[in-house]
Structure 1
């Protein structure tokens, strides 16, 4: 039932389906916690300890701590939730988009958004 027909798939794009949602529970719960100022401060003070509070796997912790946005999504992170991380150490959404697309930021702005850089 979760399987999509081949024509509905987007190449190199992890689909946020039921399985991925369940797999990403820990990372999404952690990211949603960053909605609270006291959690953002705990994250800033000791990121590893904050992540441990949510039982993240070593793979999930590595993705968060290296700000590997693409990997966070592959591991089940919902982009709307993991964007909360960018509120802690400000990252422009276009930088995240460039990382997701595997592009340099200026190339992303020029090629995907039609911006003059």
Structure 2
């Protein structure tokens, strides 16, 4: 019988309940595929997030670019990467946040990059 991933510590489970919980967040992020929406997001992030009915908790996660929290709130990583593309944020920075590591440690430990200095 497969192990229940809900029992793995610090691993958000993206299941039907997570999908429903993250619907507004994912819809907002997917809309960033359109140039007009990216412009609106950059011009007034608060208004853009409000337009999609995000909760205060969801807004705070997006505004602070807390990738781990967005996933915890039901964000699908493939959708919230659209937010990263607006800034732009390197995908390795998101990977580091998901792993709970500094960006430099992530590059060194997970990708085998040499340390600077």
TM-score, normalising length: structure 2: 0.92
Q: What's the CA shift string for 1:2-45, capped at 9, x where partnerless?
A: xx844774331101111001000000000000000000000000
d(CA) in 2 for partners of 1:8 and 1:36?
34
1:102 matched residue in structure 2: 100
Moved more, 32-41 or 106-115: 106-115
2:66 matched residue in structure 1: 68
The alignment yields a C-alpha RMSD, in angstroms, of 1.5
2:52 matched residue in structure 1: 54
d(CA) in 1 for partners of 2:5 and 2:28?
34
* CA shift for structure 1 position 116: 1.3
* CA shift for structure 1 position 87: 1.2
2:38 matched residue in structure 1: 40
Pairs within 5 Å for 1:71-90: 71-90=69-88
1:17 pairs with one of 15, 18, 25: 15
Aligned residue pairs total: 114
Deviating 4+ runs (over 2 angstroms): 4-11
